[in-house]
Structure 1
Amino acid sequence: MKDKKRIGVQMEIDQPYKRHVSVFAGVHKYAREKSDWHLVVDDWASRSILVQPDRPIPFDGIIGRLSSQDIVRAHRRQFPIVNVLFETDEKNTTGVYPDYAACGRLRAEHLLSRGFRNFGTLTSYHSPAHNIESSSFATTVRSEGYPCKGLYLEGPWTVMGDTESNYRRWKRVRKQIETWLDDWQVPMGLFIADVDIARVIIESCYDRGWNVPEDVAIVAGTNEEELCLHPEPSLTSLEIPYETIGYEAARLLDQLIHQSNKSANRRAKEPATKLFLAPTGVVARRSTDFFAIDNELIRQALRYIDVNLHRAVSIDDVANALLVSRRKLTSEFRRHLNRTVAGEVQRLRIERVKRELLSTELTVKEIAERSGFASLRTLNDAFVRVVGCAPRDYRNTALRSEDSS
Structure 2
Amino acid sequence: MFDPDPQSTDPFQARVTRSASLKQVAVLVETDSSAGCRVIRGIANYADRYADWHLLIDPRDHNHRPVLPDGWQGHGIIARPTSPQELAALQASGLPLVNVDDLVAEEPKVASVLTDEEELADMALGHLLDRGFRTFAYFAPPSLEYSKRRRDAFVTRLAQDDRPCHEYKPGYRAGRRIGWAEQQRRVERWIRGLPTPIAVLAVDAPRARQLAEICHLAGVRVPDDVAILAGSLDELMCDVSTPPLSSINVASERIGHDAAQLLDQLMNGAAPPTATLLVPPRGVNSRQSTDLLAIDDEEIVDALRYIRNNAHRGIVVEDILRQVPISRRSLEIQFRKYLGRSPAREIRRVQLERSRDLLGRRELSITEVALACGFANATRFGVAFKKDTGKTPYAFRKELLSGQPSSTLNV
Shared fold (TM-score greater than 0.5)? yes
Q: Which amino acid aligns with 1:330?
A: S
The aligned residue for residue 140 of structure 1 is: 157
Which of 69, 74, 80 aligns to 2:85? It is 69
Question: Which has the higher mean CA deviation after the structures are superposed, 278-287 or 336-345?
Answer: 336-345
Q: Pairwise mapping of residues 43-58 of structure 1 onto structure 2 (< 5 A)?
A: 43-44=59-60, 47-48=67-68, 58=73
1:188 equivalent to 2:198? Answer yes
Give the corresponding residue for 1:5: 23
Q: Secondary structure at the match of 1:2?
A: helix
Name the SS of the counterpart of 1:213 in structure 2: coil
2:234 to 205, 224, 246: 224
Specify which of 98, 106, 109 is matched with residue 115 of structure 2: 98
Deviation of 1:310 after TM superposition, in Å, equals 9.0
Distance 1:197 1:76 in 2: 34
**Residue in structure 1 matching 2:250, options 224, 240, 248:** 240
Partner SS for 2:56: strand
Give the match for residue 330 of structure 1: 330
Structure 1 counterpart of 2:40: 24
Tell me, in whole angstroms, the C-alpha distance in 1 between the residues paired with 2:248 and 2:27.
26
Deviates more, 1:145-154 or 1:94-103: 145-154
Residue by residue, what CA displacement relative to the aligned partner does 1:250-292 show, whole Å, maximum 9, x if unpaired? 11111111118xxxxxx6xx55552110001000001111211
Cα deviation, residue 34, structure 1: 4.0
Q: Secondary structure at the match of 1:173?
A: helix
Relative to structure 1, the CA distance from residue 120 to residue 348 in structure 2 (aligned partners, 3 Å threshold; closer, same or farther) is farther
Choose the corresponding residue for 2:137, options 116, 120, 129.
120
In the TM superposition, residue 81 of structure 1 has moved relative to its aligned partner by 1.0
CA separation of 1:145 and 1:134: change in aligned 2, threshold 3 A? same
Structure 1, gaps ≥5 residues long: 51-55, 160-164, 261-266, 357-364, 377-402
After alignment, is 4-13 or 173-182 more displaced?
173-182
Measured in 2, the distance between the counterparts of 1:309 and 1:371 equals 19
Give CA deviations for 1:188-226 in whole Å, capped at 9, x if unaligned. Answer: 111112333334433443455542222221101422222
Aligned residue number for residue 371 of structure 2? none
The 1-side partners of 2:381 and 2:155 are apart by 30
Q: State the percentage of identical aligned residues.
A: 28
> Is the 2:335–2:343 contact (alpha carbons within 8 Å) kept by the matching residues of 1?
no
- 1:125-171 CA-partner distances (Å, limit 9, x unpaired): 446955222332233334344432111455699x9xxxxx95x5444
Aligned match of 2:225: 215
SS at match of 2:27: strand
Instruction: Give the root-mean-square deviation of aligned CA atoms.
Output: 4.1
- Other-structure match for 1:393: none
Structure 2: distance between partners of 1:368 and 1:304? 25
2: CA distance between counterparts of 1:290 and 1:281? Answer: 19
* Residue of structure 1 in register with 2:370 after alignment: none
The number of aligned residues is: 342
Q: 1:10 touches 1:64 (CA, 8 Å); kept in 2?
A: yes
Identify if the C-alpha distance between structure 1 residues 208 and 295 changes in structure 2 by more than 3 Å, giving closer, same or farther. Answer: farther
- Structure 2: gaps of 5 or more residues: 1-18, 355-379, 391-409
CA distance 1:346–1:272, change in 2 (3 Å): same
For residues 210 and 95 of structure 2, what CA distance do their matches in structure 1 show? Answer: 44
Q: Is the Cα contact below 8 Å between 1:218 and 1:236 reproduced in 2?
A: yes
Secondary structure, counterpart of 1:59 in structure 2: coil
